Amino acid sequence: MILAAIVLFCLAAGLGLWLVVLGVRYRRGSRALAAGHAGVALLGLILLGRHIFSSPVHILYNNAALLFILALFGGLVLLALRMGNHEHRSPPPMIGVGLHAAMALSALLLLVLGYTQP
């Protein structure tokens, strides 16, 4: 189940990178791509949560889940900023995107480290 969560989070990271390229290079966003990014990441978080609550305590998985939840709230803030903007095709502030990505990639690194250690 952890491997499936890792694959889903990697897919979400790829979709997020695509969103960043759209925002930086073309100065626009994509709601469909953002919804796919959020949906895949949420599915990965659900799988991670199911594993955490149904198996023995693993501190790296717990820390990764906490960071992913913080990244989720960061993504919700980015969504609120985007929906509050009257120009819907403009990207959100890149400092917020950077913090969101840093939390999520740190969590992914912890998850992979926890998976590779016995």
In whole angstroms, give the CA distance from residue 106 to residue 86. 32
Averaged pLDDT of the chain: 90
In this model, does residue 14 exceed pLDDT 80?
Answer: yes
Dihedral sign, Cα of residue 19, residue 23, residue 27, residue 28: positive
Q: pLDDT band for position 88 (50/70/90)?
A: low
C-beta separation of 95 from 78 below 8 A: no
Res. 85: pLDDT tops 80: no
Token digits of residue 97: 């995107």
Whole-model pTM: value is: 0.88
107: three-class secondary structure by DSSP: helix
Of 105, 70, 82, whose CA–CA distance to 33 is shortest?
Answer: 82
Using one digit for the tens of pLDDT, what is the confidence trace for 30-71? 888 989 999 999 999 999 999 999 999 999 999 999 999 999
Q: Which two three-digit tokens encode residue 114?
A: 């926890």
- Asked if 104 contacts 67 with a C-beta cutoff of 8 angstroms, the reply is yes
What percent of the chain has pLDDT above 70? 92
- Quote the tokens at residue 26: 């073309």
